[in-house]
C-alpha cells in the first residue's frame, strides 16, 4: 500500500508538469503589452473640478483624517466669496497604500482614484505630488456632481436658490 502511494507521489508531479506544458501561457509581455485595468481599479489619486470648472476640494481635512498612513496634508484657505479651498495640497505616494479610504471620506467627490498604475520612479522624493500635479480639469467619475449647488448655501448661490432647496421660512408666519 505504501509502495503504491510512493509511486503515485512520484508520478503526480510529472503529470502536473505535462498538463501545464499544454496550456497557453498567461504571462503578459509588459510593458510592450499593457494591462487595461477595470473602471474601479485603485490607481493614482487626482483632485477633480465641478461642472463650473471650480476646484471641488474645500480643504475639510476629511481625507487626511481617514488616511491610515498619513500621506495627505493640506492648508485650508478661504476665497473672498467665502468658498474654502486648499492653498496647498500634497500627497506622498511613496507612503500611499491605495486603499481608497480618502475617496470614500471626501464629501465633495474632489479626490478620486484613477486607473493610472504607471508612475514608478527611482527617486522617492518624486512621489510627493503637489496640488498642481494632482488637480485635473475634469470631473472624473462623476462629471455632474456639484457639491456647492447643494451644500454651499450662501456661497455659490443665495439662500433658497440652490437646486432642491426651499427658501428660508419665517417661523412667525407658521403661528396660528
Q: Which of 54, 94, 99, 145 binds ligand SF4 (CB under 6 A)?
A: 99
Smallest gap from residue 143 Cβ to ligand SF4 (A): 17
Q: Could you give the C-alpha distances from 174 to 109, 161, 169, in angstroms and in order?
A: 37, 21, 9
Contact (CB, 8 A) for 51 and 40:
no
In the range 106-145, which residues lie near ligand SF4 by CB under 6 A? 106, 108, 110-111
Smallest gap from residue 96 Cβ to ligand SF4 (A): 3
Contacting range for ligand SF4; rule: CB under 6 A; set: 30-38, 65-73, 138-146, 151-159: 65-73
Could you say whether residue 66 binds ligand SF4 (CB under 6 A)? Answer: yes
Q: Which residues contact 143 (CB under 8 A, 6 or more apart)?
A: 51
Count of other CB atoms within 10 angstroms of residue 106:
21
Of the two residues 93 and 165, which places its CB atom closer to ligand SF4 in the complex?
A: 93
Of the two residues 4 and 39, which places its CB atom closer to ligand SF4 in the complex?
A: 39
From 116, 106, 103, 176, select the one nearest 147 (Cα to Cα): 106
Residue 84 CB-density burial (10 A; 0-12 exposed, 13-18 middle, 19+ buried): middle
Q: Which of 51, 98, 116, 142 binds ligand SF4 (CB under 6 A)?
A: 98
Q: Which of 62, 134, 135, 156 binds ligand SF4 (CB under 6 A)?
A: 62
Amino acid at each position: 500500500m505504501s509502495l503504491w502511494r510512493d509511486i503515485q507521489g512520484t508520478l503526480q508531479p510529472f503529470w502536473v508538469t505535462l498538463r501545464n506544458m499544454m496550456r497557453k501561457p498567461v504571462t503578459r509581455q509588459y510593458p510592450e503589452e499593457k494591462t487595461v485595468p477595470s473602471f474601479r481599479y485603485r490607481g493614482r489619486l487626482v483632485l477633480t473640478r465641478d461642472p463650473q470648472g471650480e476646484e471641488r476640494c474645500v480643504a475639510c481635512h476629511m481625507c487626511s483624517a481617514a488616511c491610515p498612513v498619513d500621506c495627505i496634508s493640506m492648508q485650508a484657505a478661504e476665497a473672498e466669496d467665502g468658498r474654502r479651498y486648499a492653498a496647498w495640497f500634497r500627497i506622498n505616494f511613496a507612503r500611499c497604500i491605495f486603499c481608497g479610504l480618502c475617496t470614500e471620506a471626501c464629501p465633495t467627490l474632489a479626490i478620486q482614484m484613477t486607473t493610472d498604475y504607471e508612475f514608478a520612479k527611482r527617486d522617492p522624493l518624486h512621489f510627493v505630488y503637489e496640488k498642481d500635479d494632482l488637480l485635473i480639469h475634469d470631473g472624473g467619475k462623476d462629471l455632474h456632481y456639484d457639491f456647492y449647488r447643494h451644500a454651499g448655501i450662501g456661497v455659490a448661490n443665495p439662500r433658497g436658490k440652490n437646486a432642491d432647496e426651499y427658501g428660508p421660512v419665517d417661523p412667525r408666519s407658521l403661528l396660528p
